Amino acid sequence: MHSLISVIVSGVAVGCVYALIALGFTLIYKATEVVNFAQGELLMIGAFVAYSFIVLWGWGYWAAIAATMIVVAVIGFLIDAVILRRIIGQPQFSVVMLTIGLGFVLRAVGTMIWGTSSLVLPTPFAGAINVGGVVVSSTTLSMMVGAVFLCGAVGMFFGLTRVGVAMQAASQNQLAAYYMGVPVKLLFSLVWAISGGIAAIAGVLIAPVTLVDSNLGFLGLKAFAAAVLGGFGSVPGALVGGVLIGLLEQLSSWYVTADMKDIAAYVALLAVLFVRPQGLLGSVGRKKV
Amino acid sequence: MRRIFKTHYNQDIDLFRDGIDRNIYCGLLVILLLLPLSVGSFWLGEISYALILSITSVGLMLLTGFAGQVSIGHGAFVGIGAYANAVLLTSGLPLPLSIIGAVVISTLVGALLGYPALRLSGLYLAMATLAFTFIVEHVFVHWESMTGGFGGMSVPAGVILNYSIMEGVSFYYLCLLSAVGALLLARNILRSPTGRAFVSIRDSEVAAQSMGVNLASKKTTAFALSAGFAGLSGALLAHRIGSLAPDAFGVLLSIQLLLMVVVGGLGSLHGAIFGAIFVSMLPQIIAVFRDTLPDSLAQQPGLEPGLFGAILVAFVLFEPAGINGRWQKVKAYFAHFPMHRKATFRRQKNFTKSERFR
Amino acid sequence: MTLLNVRDLTLSFGGVKAVNAISFDIQAGEIFTIIGPNGAGKTTLFNLLSRIYRPTGGEITFDGMNITNVAAHRIAKLGIARTFQNIELFEHASVLHNLLVGRQAHVETNVLQEMLFLPSVRKRELEHRDVAERVIELLRLEHARDELIANLPYGVRKIVEIARALCTQPKLLLLDEPSSGLNPEETHDIGFWIRDIRDDLGITIALVEHDMGLVGRVSDRVMAIDQGQMVAVGRPDEVRQNPQVLSAYLGIPS
């Protein structure tokens, strides 16, 4: 019984990280209507950069996290400011292809700089604590706490700060926001920066579980499945979808076979989409004619 | 500049616009038929590969370029075709039948995926097809009794009338026949009501529906057709690579196929062919490129996929209409030669049009 | 003879009744106009008639047949064609291509025959083309036949949309704001064409329209609706002077 609970706990923990990546997707989509297939690669870059700071240059863990966040946020900002801004108004399909291409480029850059072997990212979280008879490792706990903290911070940012509210306005109606003096282009790049920062943290959090290599980028696809599962464009949907998929993976590898883990997310996604084409929490949209 | 004087509706229905076009395409076919006389076996193999890819490319173009349904899962259909062909050959079916069987099987799977998928649109559909690719790959790995799993599965030599088609020239002719056949079928569909229904679904589903297009049946048709094309090319690909491994038919192949139609130019059969040629020649191009780079960079493992991505990015940014679009511009330049206007193809300034439904 | 009969048609989105128990009928051969302030439910009503929306209550009978639950793509075959308020043409196809899609309801060949382009397919294609050419001639679209929609000015697109609807050879044509976005001259032409389509082709027309001049010129009967409910129905001048209609438009308490 306890082992089942610990499976659930670790599932939720991994799910929290998926939820974070999915949150990054959803933020960008909600604000700029770009579907960022390179989100997983931003996460990968985040993990690599953190590795450089901590292992190669000997920075402290927390300082390294902050620095990583800034570096990836800048990368995200630049991707939008230099590349995506040029194709505003192109059909969504082109944008999807563009971000897929960017993902490939980022992954190639990652392998060129950090090589192909898996790296270990040391963390200060050691040992485990006993919560009501269930042993939870600190790493697992750090993933959950980090995710919850970050979601809270993002929520507060959008709800309470001027910039956050302006971003909400721009996502509701670009043109109107522009006329009201909101610097829409700058805000879009900022949204990219925020979601890059989130991806970086997600990368650092999940690194102890997965090791750091260029395959981390593929986590993005799973998180994308999570976002779609929850209903694309809905923030609660992304969070619920992420946790659900993390949970499903662990449970399926526990109950079925270990390699079911790799496709559990996708089986679940197909099953849900065929029953509810708009995802779990998505709203049914209809083009007005 | 060529002006066409139309005297009969048939001229708009016919396969070729006019006699000149017909002669060009027939000439091209003759050149392709005579190619084995002058080209070495390496290039013949490469051209066979381009022909194989162009079959999938045409199929994916029907689905994505004309019917507007994005699929990031066509690698799976190619895989299904390849494995089906190999399994049927192993079980003792003669070659033409095994290929036909492979096409039928992948068409059916396409229809099976297409039917539920028709309720999905845009991103949801792309994601569903992506999920499908992962699941099919998983099946290839784990259905060991059928596919040999990671150990791989060797494809029995194809024999027609005691004559092995594995050998270069005859395999080339098989590929040429299949590619020309596929192209002809696709062209026929596009100039008939079903093809027009595809385009109407792509441009406006509501209007298509109100004009009497049955969205469900047409989308399923598009899926089934393009899966069938992918299956045919998979069956041929199986013979080219000789031994099948599950990871050859994963997400990377699917994205490579999408690259083909985007780089070629969405919404045109010419584009499908251009894209297939481009992607099949990509390793050669990269090899040439690699020679010019300093060793430290050229030997990097990530170079190939990186260039791959960079090409994709460059096309979307600078030539969204793909190679075909560039070709049309070059043609227009020469057609109007001294009177060429620079602004003819200038892209209009655009604002984000919401594709979200509110 | 009654061509279209609508009884207690209702559509509610959540708690909002976009269309609330509307009943009316359209006689064969008349031009029937629906007017009303913005958001009154005019377009929604059209969407219900062409089955894009599923009504939550009521009944639609067309040509003696209950079409309340008929699938949207079968409506064209039964004889109802429509245009859209914001133009829903197939942007990246030629005008001719758009018109031929209008023949989709009458396609009898299947995809296998088409793949091989059997002679029967060619024969049907020629017939479809013939119908399309007649419409092109009627609406004088010869100059635009091979142009892509994306390259056409707005006014021409409006006409192409009517042409596409005519290609389905409908009994009832639903025009959703045919004059919106057109200049006075083009609006005047549309008026003539609407009458021509009725007089020459014998097609019954229902339209949603804001331009009261055009409404007065072409309509046989006018129905005014407000907030999903019918306010008045009758001859154009009667409806225009109806106090309830005036209050709906101008906000004067009746």
Q: List pLDDT tens digits, range C200-224.
A: 999 999 999 988 889 999 999 999 9
CB burial of A91-116 (b: ≥16 within 10 Å; e: otherwise) equals: ebbbbbbbbbbbbbbbbbbbbbebee
Distance CA B4, CA C203 (A): 36
CA angle A274, B260, B198 (to 5 degrees): 50
Residue B66 structure tokens: 């004309």
- The region of weakest confidence among A230-234, B251-255, C171-175 is A230-234
Mind giving me the DSSP string for B237-284? Answer: HHHHH-EE-GGGGSHHHHHHHHHHHHHH-TT-HHHHHHHHHHHHHHHH
Distance CA A154, CA A164 (A): 9
Q: Under an 8 A CB cutoff, do C111 and B221 touch?
A: yes
Residue A96 CA: distances (Å) to CA of A20, A30, B109, C206: 20, 15, 26, 42
Mean residue pLDDT across chain A: 83
pLDDT one-digit tens code per residue, C120-143 = 999 999 999 999 999 999 999 999
Considering only CB atoms, which chain B residues are within 8 Å of C84?
206-207
Nearest Cα to Cα of residue B82 among B15, B131, B176, B148: B148
Considering only CB atoms, which chain C residues are within 8 Å of B194?
111, 114
Pair A123, A139: CB distance under 8 Å: yes
Considering only CB atoms, which residues of chain B are within 8 Å of chain C? 9-10, 12-13, 185, 188-189, 191-197, 199-200, 202-204, 206-215, 221, 225, 267
Q: List chains touching B (3+ CB pairs under 8 A).
A: A, C
Considering only CB atoms, which chain B residues are within 8 Å of A287?
205-206, 357
Q: Which helix (H) or strand (E) holds C87?
A: none
pLDDT value at residue B165: 66
β-bridge partners, C27: C2
Distance CA B210, CA A33 (A): 28
Helix boundaries (H) for chain A = 2-32, 39-51, 61-78, 92-114, 138-160, 162-172, 174-179, 184-210, 219-230, 235-255, 260-275
Residue B247 CA: distances (Å) to CA of A183, A215, A253: 46, 15, 21
Probe site for chain A from B70, B124, B210, B296 (most A CB atoms < 10 A):
B124
Residue A6 structure tokens: 């610990």
Q: Work out the minimum CA distance from C245 to partner chain A, whole angstroms.
A: 25
Q: What is the complex's ipTM, to 2 decimals?
A: 0.90
Q: For C84, name the nearest residue in chain B, comparing CA atoms only.
A: B207
Probe site for chain B from A48, A93, A113 (most B CB atoms < 10 A):
A93
Considering only CB atoms, which chain C residues are within 8 Å of B225?
111
Q: Under an 8 A CB cutoff, do C73 and B200 touch?
A: no
Domain ranges of chain C: 2-79+170-250
pLDDT value at residue C252: 64
β-bridge partners, B243: B154
Distance CA B140, CA B150 (A): 8
Q: Under an 8 A CB cutoff, do B356 and A285 touch?
A: yes
Which C residues 78-107 touch B at CB under 8 Å? 81-82, 84, 88-93, 96-97, 100-107
What are the pLDDT tens digits along chain B (358 aa)?
567 788 888 888 888 878 888 899 999 999 999 988 888 888 898 999 999 999 999 999 999 999 988 888 899 999 999 999 999 998 888 888 999 999 999 999 999 888 777 777 777 888 889 889 999 998 898 888 878 777 778 888 777 766 676 677 888 999 999 999 999 999 999 999 999 999 999 888 889 999 999 988 999 999 999 999 999 999 999 988 888 888 888 888 898 898 899 889 888 999 999 999 998 988 888 778 777 777 666 666 667 778 888 888 888 888 888 888 888 888 888 877 777 666 666 655 555 455 444 3
pLDDT exceeds 90 at position C17? no
pLDDT value at residue C66: 92
Interface contact C116, partner B, CB < 8 A = yes
CB atoms within 10 A of CB A119: 15
Closest Cβ opposite residue B213 in set C73, C117, C126: C73
Q: Work out the minimum CA distance from C115 to partner chain A, whole angstroms.
A: 28
Interface contact A160, partner C, CB < 8 A = no
**For residue C137, what are the contacts with CB-CB under 8 A and spacing of at least 6?**
none
Q: Under an 8 A CB cutoff, do B206 and C84 touch?
A: yes
Distance CA C155, CA C139 (A): 12
Closest Cβ opposite residue B199 in set C81, C97, C130: C97
Architecture in CATH for domain C2-79+170-250: 3-Layer(aba) Sandwich (3.40)
Of residues A87 and B34, more confidence is placed in: B34
Probe site for chain C from A90, A93, A283, A289 (most C CB atoms < 10 A):
A289
CA angle A213, A215, A217 (to 5 degrees): 105
Residue B116 structure tokens: 């539920």
Considering only CB atoms, which chain B residues are within 8 Å of A233?
356
Q: Work out the minimum CA distance from C102 to partner chain B, whole angstroms.
A: 5
Q: What is residue B138's three-state secondary structure?
A: helix
Distance CA C5, CA C26 (A): 7
Considering only CB atoms, which chain C residues are within 8 Å of A289?
43, 47, 52, 84-86, 88
Mind giving me the DSSP string for B209-224? Answer: HHTT--HHHHHHHHHH
Residue B26 CA: distances (Å) to CA of B35, B44, B49: 14, 20, 21
Closest Cβ opposite residue B189 in set C71, C115, C168: C115
Of residues B27 and A212, more confidence is placed in: B27
Considering only CB atoms, which chain A residues are within 8 Å of C88?
289
Considering only CB atoms, which chain A residues are within 8 Å of B123?
35, 92, 96, 228, 232
Probe site for chain A from B66, B123, B261, B355 (most A CB atoms < 10 A):
B123
Interface contact C121, partner B, CB < 8 A = yes
pLDDT exceeds 70 at position A287? no
Radius of gyration of chain A (CA): 19
Beta strands in chain C (DSSP E): 2-13, 16-27, 31-35, 57-62, 65-66, 80-82, 172-176, 204-208, 221-226, 229-234
Probe site for chain A from B254, B312, B319 (most A CB atoms < 10 A):
B312
Q: Is residue A175 exposed (0-12), middle (13-18) or buried (19+ Cβ within 10 Å)?
A: exposed
Q: Under an 8 A CB cutoff, do B194 and C111 touch?
A: yes
pLDDT value at residue B74: 92
Nearest Cα to Cα of residue C31 among C186, C212, C223, C187: C223
Q: List chains touching C (3+ CB pairs under 8 A).
A: A, B
Distance CA C49, CA C171 (A): 14
Q: What is the pTM of this model?
A: 0.88
Residue A55 structure tokens: 């292992």
Nearest Cα to Cα of residue C92 among C142, C152, C133, C180: C152
Q: For A103, name the nearest residue in chain B, comparing CA atoms only.
A: B309
Q: Under an 8 A CB cutoff, do B203 and C115 touch?
A: no
Residue A207 structure tokens: 């690194």
Residue C34 structure tokens: 């629906």
Interface contact C250, partner B, CB < 8 A = no
Q: What is the CATH number of domain A2-275?
A: 1.10.3470
Q: Under an 8 A CB cutoff, do B127 and A175 touch?
A: no
Distance CA A204, CA C139 (A): 66
Q: Check the CA dihedral C151-C155-C158-C160 and report its sign.
A: negative
Distance CA B246, CA B82 (A): 10
Considering only CB atoms, which chain A residues are within 8 Å of C43?
289
Domain ranges of chain B: 38-293
Q: What is the CATH number of domain B38-293?
A: 1.10.3470
